[in-house]
Amino acid sequence: DQLTEAESIFATMKASDCFPDVVTYTTLIHAYSAA
């Protein structure tokens, strides 16, 4: 499932102190709207 994978990558980024930017949030919003 791509949504689950996107959420996992997002969590990994935050745990690694790699803070999301506009592109990250846009990608997540797109994934949620397609789910």
pLDDT at 12: 94
pLDDT at 35: 75
Determine contact, residues 31/2, Cβ cutoff 8 Å: yes
Mean pLDDT, each 10-residue run in order, the chain (35 residues): 86 91 90 84
Domain extents in the chain: 2-34
For tokens 């990994």, what's the residue? 12
Determine contact, residues 13/19, Cβ cutoff 8 Å: yes
